[in-house]
Amino acid sequence: MRLVLLGAPGAGKGTQAVFLKERHNLAHISTGDIFRQNLKDATPLGLEAKKYMDAGQLVPDEVVMKMVGETLSKFKPDEGFMLDGFPRTVKQAEFLEGLTKIDGVIMFKVPDEAIVKRLTSRATCKSCGNVTNINEHSVCPSCGGELYRRDDDNEATIRSRLKVFHEQTEALVEFYRSRGLLIEIDATGMPEEVFSRVVETLEHD
Ligand code: AMP
């Protein structure tokens, strides 16, 4: 199974990907994570991407498409994966269509104000990558590791990421609906509740 996870920043794509990975044994490909790893390793790709990430803007299509093309070329035809954070523009979606067949596109729907609230309190564990709420935990609730906040999780950058989402990424809802691939999920509430909606829809449709 090859899925695309679609949704605004903070809609819970990464969290749901962890659940889906466990249940369906799918590789999790997050373009944001690949950029952050490159930045940590100070590669030219990471340094180029940083300019855009810090401003809450999209990294240029050509750069992202090249990176995704290289990543997906390592997968055998029968290997499943989830794309988290890609595609984000119609151009990227067309590029993906030329690369591989996608079985479903899950759109996680959350109102903007709930997103701002989630992201201004989002923290990630340095050791295990678990995503949690900084107001509720001072260390990682699953492994006790140190928590950090993403540089782009400040209110000004969150607002511009949301604007970019509405201006460029939301068009993909129609793109995939017209291809009969769209699965819309109410992504408000606790992650476990959202996941049970995903399972119900994916496995019973
Ligand atoms: P994310 O972790 O998915 O929220 O991505 C963090 C940042 O990485 C985004 O705000 C963009 O600057 C960049 N990025 C990630 N994926 C893409 C993509 N498909 N197209 C353009 N920029 C991306």
26-66 pLDDT, tens digit per residue, is 999 999 999 999 999 999 999 999 999 999 999 999 999 99
Q: Could you tell me the two tokens for 133?
A: 């709420």
Residues 51 and 56: their CA atoms lie apart, in Å, by 9
Q: Is the beta carbon of 52 within 6 A of some atom in ligand 1?
A: yes
59-112 pLDDT, tens digit per residue, is 999 999 999 999 999 999 899 999 999 999 999 999 999 999 999 999 999 999
Mutate to test the pocket of ligand 1, among 6, 15, 28, 31 (most ligand atoms within 8 A of CB): 31
Q: Could you tell me the two tokens for 100?
A: 């591989």
Mean pLDDT for 113-126 is 92
pLDDT band at 203 (very low <50, low <70, confident <90, very high): confident
Residues 123 and 121: their CA atoms lie apart, in Å, by 7
CA of 164 to the centre of ligand 1 (A): 10
Q: Which residues are catalytic?
A: 13, 88, 122, 150, 161
CA of 60 to the centre of ligand 1 (A): 10
Answer whether 0.95 is exceeded by the pTM: no
pLDDT of residue 140 exceeding 80, the answer is yes
Q: Is the beta carbon of 35 within 6 A of some atom in ligand 1?
A: yes
Other beta carbons within 10 angstroms of residue 66's beta carbon come to 13
Residue matched to tokens 């949704």: 7
| Cα 174 → chain centroid | 19
Q: Could you tell me the two tokens for 122?
A: 């989002």
- For residue 204, the model assigns a pLDDT of 78
Residues 13 and 18: their CA atoms lie apart, in Å, by 9
Mean pLDDT score of the chain: 95
Class of domain 2-110+163-204: alpha beta
- For residue 129, the model assigns a pLDDT of 87
Q: What percentage of the chain reaches a pLDDT higher than 90?
A: 95
Domain ranges of the chain: 2-110+163-204
Mean pLDDT for 191-200 is 96
Pair 200, 122: CB distance under 8 Å: no
Mean pLDDT for 150-158 is 92
Whether the upstream peptide bond of residue 141 has omega within 30° of 0, thus cis, is: no
